[in-house]
Structure 1
Amino acid sequence: MILLLLGHPNPASFNAAIAERCRAALEAAGHEVVFHDLCAEGFDPALPAAEFSRNAPLDATIRQHVDELCAADGIVVVHPNWWGMPPAVLVGWIDRVLRPGETYEFLEGDSGEGVPQGLLRAKAAVVLNTSNTAAAREQAVFGDPLERIWKDCVFGLCGVRDVRRRMFETIVTSTPEQREVWLQEAEALVVEAFGCAS
Protein backbone atom coordinates (compact mmCIF):
# COMPACT_ATOMS: atom_id res chain seq x y z
CA MET A 1 0.00 0.00 0.00
CA ILE A 2 1.18 3.51 -0.86
CA LEU A 3 0.17 6.38 1.43
CA LEU A 4 -0.37 9.63 -0.52
CA LEU A 5 -0.73 12.92 1.37
CA LEU A 6 -1.72 16.29 -0.08
CA GLY A 7 -1.16 19.43 1.97
CA HIS A 8 -2.72 22.35 0.07
CA PRO A 9 -5.96 24.21 0.86
CA ASN A 10 -7.00 24.84 -2.75
CA PRO A 11 -8.54 21.85 -4.56
CA ALA A 12 -7.82 23.60 -7.88
CA SER A 13 -4.10 24.02 -7.10
CA PHE A 14 -1.26 22.54 -9.09
CA ASN A 15 -0.43 20.54 -5.96
CA ALA A 16 -3.86 18.90 -6.17
CA ALA A 17 -3.23 18.10 -9.84
CA ILE A 18 0.12 16.51 -8.94
CA ALA A 19 -1.50 14.37 -6.25
CA GLU A 20 -4.27 13.22 -8.56
CA ARG A 21 -1.88 12.28 -11.36
CA CYS A 22 0.36 10.40 -8.90
CA ARG A 23 -2.63 8.53 -7.52
CA ALA A 24 -3.77 7.52 -11.00
CA ALA A 25 -0.26 6.45 -12.03
CA LEU A 26 0.23 4.34 -8.90
CA GLU A 27 -3.17 2.67 -9.26
CA ALA A 28 -2.41 1.95 -12.93
CA ALA A 29 0.80 0.27 -11.74
CA GLY A 30 -1.29 -2.00 -9.52
CA HIS A 31 -0.77 -0.31 -6.16
CA GLU A 32 -3.41 0.17 -3.52
CA VAL A 33 -3.33 3.90 -2.73
CA VAL A 34 -4.60 5.41 0.51
CA PHE A 35 -5.08 9.11 -0.25
CA HIS A 36 -5.60 11.95 2.22
CA ASP A 37 -6.26 15.53 1.17
CA LEU A 38 -5.54 16.83 4.66
CA CYS A 39 -7.12 20.26 4.19
CA ALA A 40 -10.27 18.93 2.52
CA GLU A 41 -10.65 16.38 5.32
CA GLY A 42 -10.29 19.08 7.98
CA PHE A 43 -7.29 17.44 9.62
CA ASP A 44 -6.61 19.25 12.91
CA PRO A 45 -2.86 20.01 13.04
CA ALA A 46 -2.81 21.18 16.68
CA LEU A 47 -1.12 18.64 18.96
CA PRO A 48 -3.04 18.60 22.25
CA ALA A 49 -1.18 18.05 25.52
CA ALA A 50 -3.23 14.88 26.09
CA GLU A 51 -1.41 13.24 23.13
CA PHE A 52 2.12 13.96 24.35
CA SER A 53 2.71 10.74 26.23
CA ARG A 54 3.79 7.59 24.45
CA ASN A 55 0.72 5.59 25.44
CA ALA A 56 -1.81 8.41 25.17
CA PRO A 57 -5.26 7.45 23.94
CA LEU A 58 -5.72 8.70 20.39
CA ASP A 59 -8.91 9.75 18.68
CA ALA A 60 -10.08 7.59 15.80
CA THR A 61 -8.72 9.88 13.06
CA ILE A 62 -5.20 10.02 14.46
CA ARG A 63 -5.22 6.28 15.17
CA GLN A 64 -6.22 5.65 11.54
CA HIS A 65 -3.39 7.86 10.23
CA VAL A 66 -0.81 6.18 12.48
CA ASP A 67 -1.94 2.71 11.41
CA GLU A 68 -1.91 3.63 7.71
CA LEU A 69 1.56 5.17 7.95
CA CYS A 70 2.94 2.13 9.76
CA ALA A 71 1.39 -0.24 7.19
CA ALA A 72 2.57 1.70 4.13
CA ASP A 73 5.16 0.19 1.79
CA GLY A 74 5.77 3.64 0.34
CA ILE A 75 4.86 7.26 1.02
CA VAL A 76 4.19 10.21 -1.30
CA VAL A 77 3.84 13.75 0.06
CA VAL A 78 2.74 16.70 -2.10
CA HIS A 79 2.86 20.28 -0.81
CA PRO A 80 3.96 23.83 -1.60
CA ASN A 81 7.07 25.45 -0.17
CA TRP A 82 5.76 28.03 2.28
CA TRP A 83 8.50 29.99 4.09
CA GLY A 84 10.89 27.08 3.57
CA MET A 85 8.49 24.75 5.39
CA PRO A 86 5.55 22.48 4.68
CA PRO A 87 2.14 24.08 5.35
CA ALA A 88 0.92 23.95 8.94
CA VAL A 89 -1.50 21.09 8.21
CA LEU A 90 1.45 18.84 7.27
CA VAL A 91 3.63 20.00 10.16
CA GLY A 92 0.74 19.14 12.48
CA TRP A 93 0.30 15.77 10.78
CA ILE A 94 3.97 15.04 11.54
CA ASP A 95 3.52 16.21 15.16
CA ARG A 96 0.47 14.03 15.76
CA VAL A 97 1.09 10.95 13.60
CA LEU A 98 4.83 10.24 13.90
CA ARG A 99 4.64 8.72 17.36
CA PRO A 100 7.32 7.11 19.52
CA GLY A 101 7.05 3.36 19.72
CA GLU A 102 5.20 3.23 16.40
CA THR A 103 7.17 5.19 13.79
CA TYR A 104 10.47 5.50 15.70
CA GLU A 105 11.99 4.31 18.95
CA PHE A 106 14.82 5.56 21.12
CA LEU A 107 17.47 2.93 21.59
CA GLU A 108 17.93 0.98 24.81
CA GLY A 109 20.56 2.68 26.95
CA ASP A 110 20.19 6.04 25.23
CA SER A 111 21.72 8.53 27.64
CA GLY A 112 19.51 11.43 26.61
CA GLU A 113 20.97 12.48 23.29
CA GLY A 114 17.91 11.19 21.46
CA VAL A 115 19.36 8.80 18.88
CA PRO A 116 16.35 7.07 17.31
CA GLN A 117 15.76 3.84 15.50
CA GLY A 118 13.26 4.14 12.67
CA LEU A 119 10.34 1.74 12.72
CA LEU A 120 8.51 2.51 9.47
CA ARG A 121 8.32 -0.37 7.01
CA ALA A 122 8.21 1.94 3.96
CA LYS A 123 11.26 1.40 1.78
CA ALA A 124 10.92 4.71 -0.07
CA ALA A 125 9.27 8.11 0.11
CA VAL A 126 8.72 10.68 -2.62
CA VAL A 127 8.20 14.35 -1.75
CA LEU A 128 6.90 16.62 -4.50
CA ASN A 129 6.99 20.35 -3.85
CA THR A 130 6.05 23.51 -5.69
CA SER A 131 7.76 26.86 -5.29
CA ASN A 132 7.79 30.39 -6.61
CA THR A 133 11.49 30.67 -5.83
CA ALA A 134 13.96 29.71 -8.53
CA ALA A 135 16.02 26.64 -7.64
CA ALA A 136 19.37 28.45 -7.80
CA ARG A 137 18.19 31.16 -5.41
CA GLU A 138 16.56 28.60 -3.12
CA GLN A 139 19.87 26.78 -2.77
CA ALA A 140 22.14 29.83 -2.58
CA VAL A 141 20.05 31.94 -0.20
CA PHE A 142 18.05 29.44 1.86
CA GLY A 143 19.99 26.19 1.59
CA ASP A 144 16.85 24.25 0.59
CA PRO A 145 15.48 23.58 4.10
CA LEU A 146 12.77 21.23 2.79
CA GLU A 147 15.47 18.77 1.75
CA ARG A 148 16.76 18.59 5.33
CA ILE A 149 13.30 18.51 6.88
CA TRP A 150 12.00 15.55 4.86
CA LYS A 151 15.19 13.56 4.27
CA ASP A 152 16.89 13.90 7.64
CA CYS A 153 14.45 15.19 10.23
CA VAL A 154 11.34 13.21 9.25
CA PHE A 155 11.88 10.16 7.07
CA GLY A 156 15.50 9.53 8.04
CA LEU A 157 14.58 9.55 11.72
CA CYS A 158 11.75 7.08 11.08
CA GLY A 159 13.86 4.64 9.08
CA VAL A 160 12.99 5.50 5.45
CA ARG A 161 16.36 5.64 3.73
CA ASP A 162 15.32 6.11 0.09
CA VAL A 163 13.86 9.63 0.02
CA ARG A 164 13.38 11.23 -3.39
CA ARG A 165 12.36 14.85 -3.70
CA ARG A 166 11.52 17.09 -6.63
CA MET A 167 10.75 20.82 -6.51
CA PHE A 168 8.71 22.16 -9.41
CA GLU A 169 9.47 25.85 -9.94
CA THR A 170 8.73 28.61 -10.74
CA ILE A 171 4.98 27.99 -10.58
CA VAL A 172 3.79 31.59 -10.86
CA THR A 173 5.41 32.05 -14.29
CA SER A 174 4.84 28.53 -15.63
CA THR A 175 2.76 27.79 -18.71
CA PRO A 176 0.10 25.07 -19.07
CA GLU A 177 2.53 23.21 -21.33
CA GLN A 178 5.27 23.32 -18.70
CA ARG A 179 2.85 22.13 -16.03
CA GLU A 180 1.84 19.16 -18.16
CA VAL A 181 5.52 18.21 -18.52
CA TRP A 182 5.88 18.44 -14.73
CA LEU A 183 2.80 16.28 -14.17
CA GLN A 184 4.25 13.61 -16.44
CA GLU A 185 7.53 13.84 -14.53
CA ALA A 186 5.69 13.39 -11.21
CA GLU A 187 3.95 10.29 -12.57
CA ALA A 188 7.26 8.83 -13.72
CA LEU A 189 8.95 9.62 -10.38
CA VAL A 190 6.43 7.71 -8.27
CA VAL A 191 6.28 4.74 -10.61
CA GLU A 192 10.09 4.58 -10.66
CA ALA A 193 10.23 4.78 -6.86
CA PHE A 194 7.70 2.03 -6.19
CA GLY A 195 7.64 -0.03 -9.39
CA CYS A 196 4.71 -2.18 -10.39
CA ALA A 197 2.83 -4.01 -7.68
CA SER A 198 3.23 -7.78 -7.80
Structure 2
Amino acid sequence: MASEVVVSFGWGVVISGAMTFITAFLGLLLTYKKNELDAELARNKDAREAAESIAGRRRIADAIRQEMLGPHRAAVAAERRTANDLQRSLDQARESAENFRLRAEGAERRAVLAETERDALQTALDEALERERVAERGAAGLGVRAGHAERQLREMRGIVRRLRQEGSGESQRTI
Protein backbone atom coordinates (compact mmCIF):
# COMPACT_ATOMS: atom_id res chain seq x y z
CA MET A 1 0.00 0.00 0.00
CA ALA A 2 2.73 2.29 0.77
CA SER A 3 4.28 1.39 -2.51
CA GLU A 4 0.98 2.15 -4.21
CA VAL A 5 0.90 5.56 -2.54
CA VAL A 6 4.47 6.17 -3.61
CA VAL A 7 3.64 5.02 -7.12
CA SER A 8 0.52 7.15 -7.12
CA PHE A 9 2.48 10.02 -5.66
CA GLY A 10 5.19 9.52 -8.33
CA TRP A 11 2.63 9.51 -11.02
CA GLY A 12 1.14 12.65 -9.57
CA VAL A 13 4.55 14.34 -9.55
CA VAL A 14 5.23 13.17 -13.10
CA ILE A 15 1.84 14.35 -14.31
CA SER A 16 2.18 17.57 -12.36
CA GLY A 17 5.67 18.12 -13.82
CA ALA A 18 4.43 17.30 -17.28
CA MET A 19 1.55 19.77 -16.82
CA THR A 20 3.95 22.42 -15.55
CA PHE A 21 6.26 21.75 -18.47
CA ILE A 22 3.39 21.93 -20.95
CA THR A 23 2.07 25.09 -19.29
CA ALA A 24 5.52 26.66 -19.33
CA PHE A 25 6.03 25.60 -22.97
CA LEU A 26 2.64 26.98 -23.96
CA GLY A 27 3.36 30.17 -22.00
CA LEU A 28 6.66 30.58 -23.81
CA LEU A 29 5.02 29.80 -27.13
CA LEU A 30 2.21 32.31 -26.46
CA THR A 31 4.70 34.93 -25.30
CA TYR A 32 6.73 34.40 -28.45
CA LYS A 33 3.62 34.69 -30.64
CA LYS A 34 2.46 37.76 -28.68
CA ASN A 35 5.85 39.42 -29.15
CA GLU A 36 5.79 38.50 -32.81
CA LEU A 37 2.30 40.02 -33.20
CA ASP A 38 3.37 43.13 -31.28
CA ALA A 39 6.37 43.49 -33.59
CA GLU A 40 4.05 43.03 -36.61
CA LEU A 41 1.67 45.66 -35.22
CA ALA A 42 4.58 48.02 -34.61
CA ARG A 43 5.77 47.47 -38.19
CA ASN A 44 2.24 48.00 -39.50
CA LYS A 45 1.91 51.11 -37.37
CA ASP A 46 5.24 52.40 -38.69
CA ALA A 47 4.22 51.54 -42.25
CA ARG A 48 0.83 53.24 -41.76
CA GLU A 49 2.51 56.31 -40.29
CA ALA A 50 4.99 56.31 -43.18
CA ALA A 51 2.13 55.96 -45.67
CA GLU A 52 0.23 58.78 -43.96
CA SER A 53 3.40 60.86 -43.97
CA ILE A 54 3.92 60.17 -47.69
CA ALA A 55 0.25 60.95 -48.42
CA GLY A 56 0.59 64.17 -46.40
CA ARG A 57 3.70 65.12 -48.32
CA ARG A 58 1.90 64.36 -51.59
CA ARG A 59 -1.04 66.54 -50.54
CA ILE A 60 1.36 69.33 -49.64
CA ALA A 61 3.21 68.91 -52.95
CA ASP A 62 -0.11 68.93 -54.86
CA ALA A 63 -1.20 72.07 -53.01
CA ILE A 64 2.11 73.77 -53.83
CA ARG A 65 1.84 72.62 -57.45
CA GLN A 66 -1.73 73.94 -57.69
CA GLU A 67 -0.63 77.21 -56.13
CA MET A 68 2.20 77.52 -58.62
CA LEU A 69 0.10 76.47 -61.63
CA GLY A 70 -2.95 78.55 -60.66
CA PRO A 71 -1.70 81.84 -62.15
CA HIS A 72 -0.32 79.98 -65.18
CA ARG A 73 -3.70 78.36 -65.85
CA ALA A 74 -5.43 81.72 -65.50
CA ALA A 75 -2.98 83.25 -67.97
CA VAL A 76 -3.49 80.36 -70.40
CA ALA A 77 -7.28 80.73 -70.11
CA ALA A 78 -7.02 84.49 -70.71
CA GLU A 79 -4.81 83.92 -73.75
CA ARG A 80 -7.24 81.32 -75.05
CA ARG A 81 -10.14 83.77 -74.64
CA THR A 82 -8.14 86.49 -76.42
CA ALA A 83 -7.29 84.10 -79.26
CA ASN A 84 -10.96 83.12 -79.58
CA ASP A 85 -12.00 86.80 -79.65
CA LEU A 86 -9.40 87.55 -82.32
CA GLN A 87 -10.56 84.56 -84.39
CA ARG A 88 -14.18 85.77 -84.15
CA SER A 89 -13.10 89.27 -85.25
CA LEU A 90 -11.15 87.81 -88.17
CA ASP A 91 -14.15 85.72 -89.23
CA GLN A 92 -16.41 88.80 -89.06
CA ALA A 93 -13.93 90.82 -91.13
CA ARG A 94 -13.79 88.06 -93.75
CA GLU A 95 -17.58 87.92 -93.87
CA SER A 96 -17.77 91.73 -94.26
CA ALA A 97 -15.19 91.64 -97.05
CA GLU A 98 -17.16 88.89 -98.82
CA ASN A 99 -20.40 90.90 -98.50
CA PHE A 100 -18.65 93.99 -99.88
CA ARG A 101 -17.26 91.99 -102.80
CA LEU A 102 -20.72 90.62 -103.60
CA ARG A 103 -22.25 94.11 -103.48
CA ALA A 104 -19.48 95.44 -105.76
CA GLU A 105 -20.12 92.64 -108.25
CA GLY A 106 -23.85 93.42 -108.18
CA ALA A 107 -23.19 97.14 -108.79
CA GLU A 108 -20.85 96.26 -111.65
CA ARG A 109 -23.51 94.04 -113.25
CA ARG A 110 -26.12 96.79 -112.87
CA ALA A 111 -23.72 99.31 -114.48
CA VAL A 112 -23.15 96.97 -117.45
CA LEU A 113 -26.91 96.50 -117.86
CA ALA A 114 -27.49 100.28 -117.66
CA GLU A 115 -24.81 100.88 -120.29
CA THR A 116 -26.35 98.25 -122.55
CA GLU A 117 -29.79 99.82 -122.11
CA ARG A 118 -28.36 103.28 -122.80
CA ASP A 119 -26.74 101.99 -125.99
CA ALA A 120 -30.05 100.47 -127.09
CA LEU A 121 -31.88 103.75 -126.38
CA GLN A 122 -29.23 105.71 -128.28
CA THR A 123 -29.64 103.38 -131.26
CA ALA A 124 -33.41 103.78 -131.16
CA LEU A 125 -32.99 107.57 -130.93
CA ASP A 126 -30.63 107.59 -133.90
CA GLU A 127 -33.09 105.53 -135.92
CA ALA A 128 -35.96 107.87 -135.00
CA LEU A 129 -33.90 110.92 -135.97
CA GLU A 130 -33.05 109.28 -139.27
CA ARG A 131 -36.74 108.55 -139.91
CA GLU A 132 -37.55 112.17 -139.04
CA ARG A 133 -34.98 113.42 -141.56
CA VAL A 134 -36.33 111.04 -144.14
CA ALA A 135 -39.86 112.23 -143.45
CA GLU A 136 -38.82 115.91 -143.70
CA ARG A 137 -37.04 115.24 -146.99
CA GLY A 138 -39.95 113.23 -148.21
CA ALA A 139 -42.41 116.00 -147.33
CA ALA A 140 -40.31 118.71 -148.92
CA GLY A 141 -38.74 116.94 -151.90
CA LEU A 142 -41.29 114.41 -153.12
CA GLY A 143 -44.38 116.55 -152.95
CA VAL A 144 -46.32 114.41 -150.44
CA ARG A 145 -49.37 116.04 -149.14
CA ALA A 146 -48.49 118.62 -146.53
CA GLY A 147 -51.02 117.53 -143.97
CA HIS A 148 -49.92 113.93 -144.11
CA ALA A 149 -46.28 114.89 -143.88
CA GLU A 150 -46.90 117.25 -140.98
CA ARG A 151 -48.79 114.58 -139.09
CA GLN A 152 -45.98 112.08 -139.73
CA LEU A 153 -43.46 114.72 -138.71
CA ARG A 154 -45.34 115.43 -135.47
CA GLU A 155 -45.47 111.70 -134.74
CA MET A 156 -41.77 111.35 -135.33
CA ARG A 157 -40.97 114.36 -133.18
CA GLY A 158 -43.19 112.95 -130.42
CA ILE A 159 -41.33 109.65 -130.64
CA VAL A 160 -37.98 111.46 -130.54
CA ARG A 161 -39.12 113.55 -127.53
CA ARG A 162 -40.28 110.44 -125.69
CA LEU A 163 -37.06 108.61 -126.45
CA ARG A 164 -35.03 111.57 -125.26
CA GLN A 165 -37.06 111.76 -122.08
CA GLU A 166 -36.70 108.05 -121.51
CA GLY A 167 -32.99 108.29 -122.24
CA SER A 168 -32.48 111.18 -119.83
CA GLY A 169 -34.62 109.51 -117.16
CA GLU A 170 -32.74 106.24 -117.54
CA SER A 171 -29.36 107.96 -117.29
CA GLN A 172 -30.52 109.66 -114.10
CA ARG A 173 -31.63 106.32 -112.69
CA THR A 174 -28.32 104.65 -113.42
CA ILE A 175 -26.38 107.47 -111.80
Normalized per residue, which structure has more strand? 1
* Larger gyration radius, structure 1 or structure 2: 2
With the shorter chain as reference, the TM-score category is under 0.3
**Larger RCO: 1 or 2 (CA < 8 Å, sep 6+):** 1
Normalized per residue, which structure has more helix? 2
TM-score of the two chains, using structure 2 as the length reference: 0.18
